Structure 1
Amino acid sequence: MFTRRQLLQSTSAGFGYLAFAGLSSLAAEKESLPSTNPLAPKKPHLQPRAKRVIFLCMQGGPSHVDTFDYKPQLEKDHGKAGKYGGRLLKSPWEFKQRGESGLWISDLFPKVASHADDMCLIRSMQCDQPVHTSAVTEMHTGTAQFIRPSLGAWTLYGLGSENESLPGFISLSPPAGTSRNYGNSFLPAIYGGTAVGGSGSRALARLGVGNGGLAVPDIQSSRMDTRQQRKQLDLIQSLNREKLRREEFAPGVEGVIESYELAFRMQDAMPKLMDVSDETQRTRDLYGIDNESTANFGKQCLLARRFAEAGVRFIEVSHGGWDQHTRLTTDHAARALGCDQPIAGLLQDLKERGLLEDTLVVWGGEFGRTPAAQGGDGRNHNNKGYTTWMAGGGVKGGYSYGETDEHGYEAIENQCHIHDWHATLLHLMGLDHERLTYRYAGRDFRLTDVHGSVATDILA
């Protein structure tokens, strides 16, 4: 039997309990809700072997038979008629077995060759395009016929970023006119690459991209502090969101909103990250930054390491000029001289910092070159068999996968088409290329379209 006082006391306490329980439930529900940040880290499909990728893109088509695909028969048959015309041309550079693994690598890359035991050579690459522009596009997007999301954009879409104050996908000094190679296409704009520097830019630290990537605006102002910038940005964003609310489909407006927010976060983090003045002289020497022939690419490789260390998911570094239809001996030597030391330095630096084991370093061009000579001292395009290599990130070190014929014309063993290469890269990052899809125009798209098999033999 309750008195009136006891009844009121117990009832009011019950209301308090219900209110507390409700608040606790809301808090728990809020914590369990997925992040609204599209770049928030996402759970991979598989156990990842690599957390990030550094793609060293050698545009122009470096010759596989002069770098990483040793062909003793080509040397023996020098001067004889080639399979498809022309005269066979032996390599001007000597090949040697390197490291404990004994991988055959030419003297064109002596410093990179010192890391042979960390490298996995894929000597059976193939793509569908024998022309530079379309082959480069296929290498980056899986197709040369349509505008599709790039490899980096797919990676960022599938995994998100590890640093909300930086872009998750950065392209360092991309050549002019290559924006689709780091673009998002029909993926949301936030997944497109951010170009840092670039052909024709006034300074490497200048940010922004052309069509196809995430445009990061310059919102810095010497007249406003951070609080005032935030207040101004909030006003602009409220107008953008109102426009977005009124329109049923406005991906451009969504991209503007996301790019302004990213720019606001980046203005503190990016300048510090790109200031290499705090690096030791040993590190500068490691990358060849103070040497005229290696300074440019060396700084880009050093920045790639700094970005990787800071949590950027996908970093591309471009190095062009490998298209030697003539003057192969002179110009291939010059191209290799400009990147041999920086690449070797990058591998050593990553290894010393414990980053190589979960950073996948990828080297390669859009295709290789023919065993037969062109223009006396040159080689033509060859998309039927060429070499790329990977290091770290869960691949076997000191390993050679696939093979071309005795002269290096085409892949004859364990052919690795560009779709297979993409499937393997995604697999190493913990993504199933068949499950990584995006619904657009009534169908599910993926990087590998309806093709691709993982090269499981190269997995460590």
Structure 2
Amino acid sequence: MMFDLRGLDRLNRRTFLTRSAAGIGLAALGSLVADEARGAVAGLPHFKPKAKRVIYLFQSGAPSQMDLFDYKPNLKARHGENLPDSIRMGQRLTGMTAGQSKFPVAPSIFKFAQHGNSGHWMCELLPHTAKWADSIAVVKSMQTSAINHDPAVTFFQTGQELAGRPSIGSWLSYGLGSENKDLPAYVVLTSRGSGRPDDQPLYDRLWGSGFLPTQHQGVKLRNQGDPVLYLSDPPGVDRALRRDMLDDLGELNKMKFATAGDPEIATRVAQYEMAFRMQTSVPDLINVGKEDQKTLDQYGPEVKRPGSYAYNCLLARRLAERGVRFVQLFHMGWDHHGGLPTALRGQCRDTDQPTAALLADLKNRGLLDDTLIVWGGEFGRTVYSQGSLTATDYGRDHHPRCFTVWLAGGGVKGGVSHGETDDYCYNVTKDPVSVHDLHATILHLLGIDHEKLTFKFQGLDARLTGVEPSKVVKALLA
């Protein structure tokens, strides 16, 4: 008997799944849907983690490091002097100051003091954060390659300056999965600061999943109306009917998956189910009225206003205790090219008390030990002033060469001051830390070897920390 081998060619994956619609194909779909509540990568974490989750307090617009954390008292004697060429060394400038012929030094007008046993220097505008000096690790030697906001923010969120890569929260969702089947693994909250209400915009791609499966993208909670679009059922549709609709839609998607084998179909089914569960979990999450008055007072007067930084800090704690893996707060308003003294006061008034309250709240609930807190922006500010040089109206340009971030909580060695800058707060003189180094350290605290968390993309094993050598900053580890 002749056997037509050409028939075997047609028994490809799609055909196999089609013929197995009632068996293996649907089992595969069920497995993929179930994976949303588990780690998507086998063998993770690589080692015992110090932190289970991250709350990233991203200060969008770039806070001025020498006005907040990197104290340079000797600059007062150099007020108005031109920044020496030996310090700038021909480094690139933005288009906003490239035409300046002079670069007048603008010392901070704010008072600084040392705090805690660690002796961290902090500005007078941060009295609440200062009380946590011995619990935070301050990195004064951060560096980045980007000099403009969009690529710089994108770099911090995705490890690349060009848009389209997965965000750090998406990498963690992909690698570690979720601890709560009723909430996304990655949630984003945004607030607009009083320091500069018309500050740089944010884009949804900053919390996108890039080339990772779309179930790992961040879910943004809105500040007005339903926190998530279409969270409420349409008029005339009750919950039972909604359940029936999803069940029928799920059956159709299973049939399509059995035919096509496209994993995005499984993602779609999983997201429909997540949305249904969020109809119950999200209203409970945002009901801050359940908090006792002592807790509310701790976060400050803005805590009950949806969309405020204080409100979002409280939501971050509520998300953390519900097992959300990565909570990203974006607080806009730090881009101070002019009028910095007034604007900085406004930003610190927005953020200082709620940030300290978040640390205290987590500690009181036993969550700080396994929750990693990261605070910082996309780059720093120049020591020289743009435009006016008075006590009320100096401003600072973008500065990627050195700036400050701090970390606290899960696995972080409190009281550490890492890295140093020169007398002009312009160049790093000791222990530089790159964006990828920071990412590698965050992943390490979560039990992940940054070189092993990869995803095949365009023939390469892509990773958050890229291909250039990156290191875990061990001095920050407890």
Residue pairs, 1:53-452, within 5 angstroms: 53-83=54-84, 84=88, 85-173=102-190, 177-197=202-222, 202-203=224-225, 205-208=226-229, 218=231, 220-221=233-234, 223-247=236-260, 249=262, 251=264, 253-290=265-302, 296-376=308-388, 377-451=394-468, 452=470
| CA distance in structure 2 between the aligned counterparts of 1:236 and 1:218, rounded to whole angstroms | 18
Amino acid at match of 2:337: H
Structure 2 partner of 1:38 = 35
Counterpart secondary structure, 1:180: helix
Task: Give the 3 Å change call, closer, same or farther, for CA 262–295 of structure 1 in structure 2.
Answer: closer
| CA distance in structure 1 between the aligned counterparts of 2:461 and 2:190, rounded to whole angstroms | 32
Q: Does 1:47 align with 2:48?
A: yes
Amino acid at match of 1:330: T
Structure 2 partner of 1:26 = none
Structure 2 partner of 1:21 = none
| CA distance in structure 1 between the aligned counterparts of 2:358 and 2:202, rounded to whole angstroms | 27
Amino acid at match of 1:386: F
CA contact (8 A) 1:81 1:88 kept: yes
| CA distance in structure 1 between the aligned counterparts of 2:364 and 2:474, rounded to whole angstroms | 27
Structure 2 partner of 1:4 = none
| CA distance in structure 2 between the aligned counterparts of 1:152 and 1:401, rounded to whole angstroms | 25
Count of residues in Structure 1 that have an aligned counterpart in Structure 2 = 416
| CA distance in structure 2 between the aligned counterparts of 1:311 and 1:294, rounded to whole angstroms | 22
Amino acid at match of 1:193: G
| CA distance in structure 2 between the aligned counterparts of 1:403 and 1:81, rounded to whole angstroms | 22
TM-score after normalising by structure 1: 0.86
Q: CA deviation at 1:72?
A: 2.0
Amino acid at match of 2:477: L
% identical equivalent positions: 42
Counterpart secondary structure, 1:120: strand
Q: CA deviation at 1:110?
A: 1.3
| CA distance in structure 2 between the aligned counterparts of 1:38 and 1:162, rounded to whole angstroms | 11
Q: CA deviation at 1:179?
A: 1.0
Instruction: Give the greater-gyration-radius structure (CA).
Output: 1
CA contact (8 A) 2:68 2:123 kept: yes
CA contact (8 A) 1:163 1:310 kept: yes
- Shifted more, 277-286 versus 77-86: the winner is 77-86
Structure 2: gaps of 5 or more residues: 1-26, 89-101, 193-200, 389-393
| CA distance in structure 2 between the aligned counterparts of 1:292 and 1:243, rounded to whole angstroms | 45
- Shifted more, 186-195 versus 85-94: the winner is 85-94
- Shifted more, 312-321 versus 293-302: the winner is 293-302
| CA distance in structure 2 between the aligned counterparts of 1:143 and 1:290, rounded to whole angstroms | 35
Task: Give the 3 Å change call, closer, same or farther, for CA 292–270 of structure 1 in structure 2.
Answer: closer
CA contact (8 A) 1:65 1:71 kept: yes
Q: CA deviation at 1:228?
A: 2.8
Counterpart secondary structure, 1:101: coil
**For each residue in 1:161-183, what CA deviation from the matched residue of structure 2 results, as whole angstroms up to 9, or x when unmatched?**
11011001000137854111111
Q: CA deviation at 1:108?
A: 1.9
Task: Give the 3 Å change call, closer, same or farther, for CA 158–245 of structure 1 in structure 2.
Answer: same
Q: CA deviation at 1:35?
A: 7.8
| CA distance in structure 1 between the aligned counterparts of 2:129 and 2:191, rounded to whole angstroms | 23
Amino acid at match of 1:82: L
Amino acid at match of 1:456: K
Amino acid at match of 1:453: K
Structure 1 partner of 2:473 = 455
**For each residue in 1:60-104, what CA deviation from the matched residue of structure 2 results, as whole angstroms up to 9, or x when unmatched?**
010000011111222332222113441111101111101121111
| CA distance in structure 2 between the aligned counterparts of 1:304 and 1:81, rounded to whole angstroms | 44
Q: CA deviation at 1:206?
A: 2.0
CA contact (8 A) 1:174 1:195 kept: no
Task: Give the 3 Å change call, closer, same or farther, for CA 371–177 of structure 1 in structure 2.
Answer: closer
Q: CA deviation at 1:219?
A: 6.2
| CA distance in structure 2 between the aligned counterparts of 1:429 and 1:406, rounded to whole angstroms | 35
Counterpart secondary structure, 2:35: coil
| CA distance in structure 2 between the aligned counterparts of 1:267 and 1:441, rounded to whole angstroms | 37
Q: CA deviation at 1:289?
A: 3.8
| CA distance in structure 2 between the aligned counterparts of 1:297 and 1:260, rounded to whole angstroms | 30
CA contact (8 A) 1:294 1:337 kept: no
Counterpart secondary structure, 1:333: helix
CA contact (8 A) 2:107 2:383 kept: yes
Q: CA deviation at 1:450?
A: 1.2
Counterpart secondary structure, 1:173: strand
CA contact (8 A) 1:130 1:382 kept: yes
Amino acid at match of 1:276: V
| CA distance in structure 2 between the aligned counterparts of 1:431 and 1:118, rounded to whole angstroms | 23
Q: CA deviation at 1:282?
A: 1.1
Amino acid at match of 2:279: Q
**For each residue in 1:405-441, what CA deviation from the matched residue of structure 2 results, as whole angstroms up to 9, or x when unmatched?**
1111122211100010100010011111000001122
- Shifted more, 137-146 versus 36-45: the winner is 36-45
CA contact (8 A) 1:89 1:372 kept: yes
CA contact (8 A) 2:303 2:314 kept: no
